[in-house]
Amino acid sequence: MNGTKTRKIAAVYVDVAAEGTDKLFDYEVPDDLVGEVRIGSRVQVSFGSRKRMGYVAGFPESTTAPRLKPILGLMDLVPPLTPELVRLSEWVARTWLCPVIHVLHAMVPAVLKGRYQRVLSIPPDGETSVLLSEGESHLFSLLREKGELLQEEALALPGVTRPLLRRLVEEGRLSVEERVGDGITSRRRTWIGPAMDAEVLREAAEELPSQAFRQREVLNFFLKHPEDILLSHLLAALGISRSTVDRLTEKGLLRREEREEYRDPYVDRSFNRSRPLPLTSEQQQAFDAILVPLRQRKDHAILLQGVTGSGKTEVYLQAISETLEMGRQAIVLVPEISLTPQMVERFKGRFGSQVAVLHSGLSGGERFDEWRRIQSGEATVAIGARSAVFAPFTDIGLIIIDEEHEGSYKQEETPRYHAREVARRRCADHGAVLVMGTATPSVETYFRARTGGYQWVTLTERVHGRPFPQIEVVDMREELRAGNRSIFSRPLSDGLTACVNRGEQAVLLLNRRGYSTFVMCRECGGTVECPRCDISLTYHRTNGTLRCHYCGHAEGVPKSCPTCGSIHIRYFGTGTQRVEEELAKRLPGLRVIRMDVDTTNRKGAHEKLLTAFGEGKADVLLGTQMIAKGLDFPRVTLVGVIAADTMLHLPDYRAAERTFQLLTQVSGRAGRHEMAGKVVVQAYTPEHYSIRMAAAYEGEPFYREECRTRKRHRYPPFCGMFKVLMSHPDRGALMQAAHQTARSITPLLPSGTELLGPVPAPIPRIKDRYRIQIMIKYDNHIDEESEWVDALRRLRTGHTDPNLRVSVDREGF
């Protein structure tokens, strides 16, 4: 070192996915970027012989690297991530054993991973009369001439530097827009407004020659509506051409303005403003419970257990309002499927454009725009599914997780994470309050609340004081004994007839998980399985094919049994199509809307079907789990569950919990309004405690029973688990790898930790790959730096067989 210049070192997570790269690499920050590169900045670096992007995670004092390569470029003027989010990504990676770069990628909108250009322009009110430096005057005069400039062009101007651009952007005098590929990530629209006061306009209108009646019409329009209007709307409203407006702007009577516009997916929707409702005494208590830690800026977690219709959402809204008044921000997580326009409306109606909505239905550009509104501070409430937990707020006061028990809060592909645990972590970092709302908490959350880990607040009454519907459980074995071989029990079919005759509506739920139509031979009992996966093919009646739900394989229905040649083949199980056909047979003329993966795969289809049902265009809404939540239709008075216990046979320790939750949620759908409701639950094992207790509204007894069961069999919340899933096209090679893995890990395990397996996975083969799993159960608190956890971490990439795939998942905290 020459001693006159101190090196500035940046530690970077580089976007490469090879063994041994999940760590920080040091780079030198070039002089012109010192102070510009920050923690959370995206930078370009060279890695090996390639150019890669990376995220800056820190600035170490010294490095062990013999020779530092320089950072080649800074990719954003404002870093897309905050230091808190960078630390959070490290925590997520450590907790769920995945590379940090995967988490960093998951935190930013997908367009930031693409190729892009940065374009500078002057925002509508960005010009000020303050004295300009040399750089500024060059920049602004060129911008006024050309409208916009590439960032590189601007930096080539004398006196224009990165710090100057950043300052101008921060002061709001310059706007910067990122264009990805050839798509444009933001758009500008032309607005027109009066440039003179009413007096002048009126005079001008009178003085116009009579053939200029169109111009007069425009001026009269602005005399009546003096506010700015989109040019396109003005043209459409008056049926005039652009030149008419141009004439008036040339005369200086009207003013035109180009404004940058965020793509707002809700732009064509007007939201009814709503006001806070006076709270019921139960709601008030819940609200107060949130307020105390909120005002103290204390990291605090609350389980808000409230029956369906108890007014949890109103409590959320008022708590958010309080948070915003403190100048802080709020995140609301809802399951993707509940993120309906009605749900969004409740938040937009209260907080207007302060609400940013993040969900998977948005285009890449729309999502980016919503994200930027959060980043720039324009939006202060983020509402969205799982990944909205990473919203780049800097001062979070409140995080709400609605329907806390939902399985979709867990991401099942890398980076695997549980949004609830991430939310807890962010609340700790921000001194924020976490509110977990649900009628049926997950067993883990229930247990934590009961043992004092969370504050537990309950709402036991429905706001409008309506009783819960009566739940009738029908034993389908009895029905069979009585000679009824149909899908519908007598009580359900009678109930349907009566309901429809009264002109009311019914919802029929088919619990599809682990239950579908398959073909079985009555001679030998053989089923038709997918040739590539160890799973029965599903019969699709519409096109008469058998399909595999895992790999998409399709084939025709065999005329005879592929195993024994018998022609006595029949279809078993109950798909939605089959139920629909039965309904048509039993109740001819019945109008049915079917909602399942087949009818809802197109964008917007889900919403369209629900709207049609809400408008009374059908008598029955028939569907899978996707109809169980978030619906609120006043004319629904009957809910039928076709087979409540299909989930109970799945090899999943949550089966009882999920069954209880589903039944409880679905009964909350009936009779929410003036009309009384009824629920009919059909089951083959009605004596199972999850069904019995859901039907009797025995929540507390169910949770106690379930905790006893989990404790006895050692499942979360009484332990934590790592699940190692290995797959390989060669069964022998897989067995060998799995046993070797088990042998190498076992000696490292501390006492109280047990390794189970290797055993075949619940689906032993998918797409010609055999699957084996190993489970490790441990006492809840582990040291993530310990040797055995590190060994698990290295399983994913630490092998040489290119055909072997390993994933590690973690559950139970």
- Hey, is 780 helix, strand or coil? coil
**Edge-to-edge, what's the strand order for the sheet holding 769-778?**
754-766, 769-778, 720-728, 805-811
The residue (of 587 and 610) whose beta carbon lies closer to ligand ADP is 610
The neighbour count for residue 96, using CB atoms within 10 Å, is: 23
Provide the minimum distance between the beta carbon of 462 and ligand ADP in the complex, in angstroms, as a whole number: 7
Binding site for ligand ADP (CB under 6 A): 277-280, 283, 306, 308-314, 463
- SS3 helix, strand, coil % of the chain, rounded to 5? 35, 25, 40
* 629 Cβ neighbours under 8 A, 6+ residues apart: 335, 337, 338, 403, 665
User: Applying CB under 5 A, what is the total number of residues that bind Zn ion?
Assistant: 15
Question: Is 391 or 537 the residue whose CB approaches Zn ion more closely?
Answer: 537
Of residues 504-533, those binding Zn ion (CB under 5 A):
521, 523-524, 526, 530, 532-533
Please choose which of ligand ADP, Zn ion, none residue 337 contacts, taking the beta carbon within 5 to 8 angstroms, the exact cut-off set by kind: none
Of the pair 282, 366, the CB lying nearest ligand ADP is at 282
- Region 177-216 residues binding Zn ion, contact defined as CB under 5 A: none
Q: Which is nearer to ligand ADP, 310 or 577 (CB)?
A: 310
- Per partner kind, with CB cut-offs from 5 to 8 A, the member of ligand ADP, Zn ion, none near residue 279 is ligand ADP
Residue 627: which of 550, 497, 512 has the closest Cα?
A: 512
Q: 710-749: which residues touch Zn ion (CB under 5 A)?
A: none
Residue with smaller CB distance to ligand ADP, 52 or 466: 466
Helix axes 83-95, 100-107, angle to 10 degrees: 130
Q: Give the 3-state secondary structure of residue 111.
A: helix
Report residue 385: phi and psi, to 5°.
-80, 180
Shortest distance, position 277 Cβ to ligand ADP, whole Å: 4
From 75, 337, 463, 551, residue interacting with Zn ion (rule: CB under 5 A): 551
Among 548, 592, 628, 804, the residue binding Zn ion under the rule CB under 5 A is 548
Written as one letter, the residue type at 495 is G
Distance CA 26, CA 47 (A): 11
Q: Which helix (H) or strand (E) holds 222?
A: helix 213-224
Classify 484 as helix, strand or coil: coil
Query: What would the DSSP string read from start to end of 289-337?
Result: HHHHHHHTT--EEEEEEE-TTS-HHHHHHHHHHHHHHTT-EEEEE--GG
Residue 435 near residue 702 (C-beta atoms within 8 A): no
Nearest to 439 by CA among 462, 465, 455, 471: 462
330 phi and psi, to 5 degrees? Answer: -135, 145
- Give CA separation, 135 vs 91, 132, 142, 155, in Å: 43, 8, 11, 9
Shortest distance, position 434 Cβ to ligand ADP, whole Å: 17
Say if residue 719 carries a ligand binding annotation: no
| Residue 630 interacting entry, from ligand ADP, Zn ion, none, C-beta within 5 to 8 Å by type | none
Check the annotation: does 521 bind a ligand: yes
Q: Look at residue 526 and give the partner it binds from Zn ion, ligand ADP, none, a contact being a CB closer than 5 to 8 Å depending on partner kind.
A: Zn ion
Measure the CA–CA gap between 677 and 309, rounded to whole angstroms: 14
From the number of C-beta atoms within 10 Å of its C-beta (0-12, 13-18, 19+), residue 455 rates as middle
Residue whose CB is less far from ligand ADP, 309 or 392: 309
CB of 399 to ligand ADP, least distance (A): 17
Q: Is 561 annotated as a binding residue?
A: yes
- Tell me whether residue 564 is annotated as binding: yes
Q: Taking the C-alpha atoms of 564, 567, 573 and 574 in order, what is their torsion angle to the nearest 10 degrees?
A: 150
CB of 613 to Zn ion, least distance (A): 33
Q: Is 98 annotated as a binding residue?
A: no
Residue 548 binding partner per list Zn ion, ligand ADP, none, with a CB distance cut-off of 5 to 8 Å that depends on partner kind: Zn ion
Smallest gap from Cβ 280 to ligand ADP, in A, equals: 5
551 binds, among Zn ion, ligand ADP, none (CB under 5 to 8 A by kind): Zn ion
Radius of gyration, alpha carbons of the chain: 31
Q: Which does 306 bind (CB under 5 to 8 A by kind): ligand ADP, Zn ion, none?
A: ligand ADP
What does 561 interact with, of Zn ion, ligand ADP, none (CB < 5 to 8 A by kind)? Zn ion
Q: Tell which positions 552-611 bind Zn ion, by CB under 5 A.
A: 553, 561, 563-564, 566
- In the complex, minimum distance from the CB of residue 525 to Zn ion, in angstroms, rounded to a whole number: 7
Nearest to Zn ion of 450, 731 (CB atom): 731
Which does residue 533 touch among ligand ADP, Zn ion, none (CB within 5 to 8 A, set by kind)?
Zn ion
499 is in an annotated binding site: no
> Using CB under 5 A as the criterion, which residues of the chain lie in contact with Zn ion when the complex forms?
521, 523-524, 526, 530, 532-533, 548, 550-551, 553, 561, 563-564, 566
| Binding-site residues from annotation for Zn(2+) | 521, 524, 530, 533, 548, 551, 561, 564
| Binding-site residues from annotation | 521, 524, 530, 533, 548, 551, 561, 564
